[in-house]
């Protein structure tokens, strides 16, 4: 299984001093940045069976207003991903604007027609390791604005069709988006150091075999 490779190694304190090797702990530390071809990143993810025991959606506090600017996480994603930027009114109510939903390749001009999807659903994250996290770590996951792949504005219909499924049972209706979707899925699981189950791994490997083996760069969370 390929090891996560650092995108950069800290310089030695003195020019003539040897560069210290990156330890295993450092490779998995929060804030560490890794770059890997996506198929290698998939191979590096731990494979294990999943369990949903104890899961409830309220264990992931989401749509918070982290920066206290009046716009919660959902609104921040809608503002960031708008094709034409809406106007933000009182309580960050959005009017105007247009959005493209890549899951089904449709355009929308009403924010209420959109859901903000957790690319790796909350239940799937729970199954894959988040059950052992603290409540603050789960809150950070559910409101991750630091990686644009984590949250995505899509049509409500496509998001609800997906529900909490992984790529072994659901892919976006727009086949032209499949490579982006599975590549971003691997990146998100890598970022949050989550596992994959055997069926998920097989489905991802099958799809990625038909996609460019492009490098992904990920800053590890938690």
**C-alpha to C-alpha distance for 143 and 151, rounded to whole angstroms:** 8
**Domains identified in the chain, total number:** 1
- Residue 70 lies inside a defined structural domain of this protein: yes
- Residue 129 lies inside a defined structural domain of this protein: yes
DSSP E strands, the chain: 33-37, 87-88, 94-95, 99-101, 106-108, 114-118, 151-155, 215-219
Full residue range of the structural domain in which residue 176 is found: 49-189
Residue-wise pLDDT for 117-165, tens only, equals: 999 999 999 999 999 999 999 999 999 999 999 999 999 999 999 999 9
**Is pTM, for the whole model, over 0.85?**
yes
Residue-wise pLDDT for 160-196, tens only, equals: 999 999 999 999 999 999 999 999 999 999 999 999 9
- Residue 163 lies inside a defined structural domain of this protein: yes
Q: Residue 201's closest CA among 51, 52, 43?
A: 43
- Cβ count within 10 A of residue 20: 12
- Half-sphere exposure at residue 197, Cβ-oriented, CA atoms within 13 angstroms: 16
Residue-wise pLDDT for 25-81, tens only, equals: 556 788 999 999 999 999 999 999 999 999 999 999 999 999 999 999 999 999 999
- Residue 194 lies inside a defined structural domain of this protein: no
């Amino acid at each position: 299984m390929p090891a996560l490779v650092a995108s950069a190694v800290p310089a030695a304190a003195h020019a003539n001093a040897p560069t210290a090797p990156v330890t295993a702990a450092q490779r998995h530390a929060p804030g560490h940045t890794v770059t890997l071809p996506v198929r290698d990143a998939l191979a590096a993810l731990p494979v294990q069976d999943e369990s949903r025991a104890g899961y409830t959606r309220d264990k992931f506090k989401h749509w918070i207003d982290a920066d206290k600017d009046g716009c919660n996480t959902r609104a921040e994603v809608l503002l960031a991903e708008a094709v034409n930027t809406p106007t933000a009114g009182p309580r960050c109510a959005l009017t105007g604007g247009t959005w493209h939903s890549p899951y089904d390749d449709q355009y929308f001009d009403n924010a209420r027609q959109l859901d903000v999807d957790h690319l790796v659903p909350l239940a799937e994250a729970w199954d894959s390791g988040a059950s052992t996290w603290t409540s603050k770590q789960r809150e950070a996951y559910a409101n991750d604005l630091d990686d644009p792949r984590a949250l995505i504005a899509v049509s409500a219909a496509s998001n609800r069709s997906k529900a909490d499924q992984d790529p072994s049972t659901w892919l976006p209706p727009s086949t032209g988006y499949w490579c982006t979707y599975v590549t971003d899925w691997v990146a998100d699981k890598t970022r949050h150091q989550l596992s994959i189950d055997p069926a998920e791994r097989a489905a991802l490997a099958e799809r990625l075999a038909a996609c460019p083996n492009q490098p992904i760069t990920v800053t590890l969370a938690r």
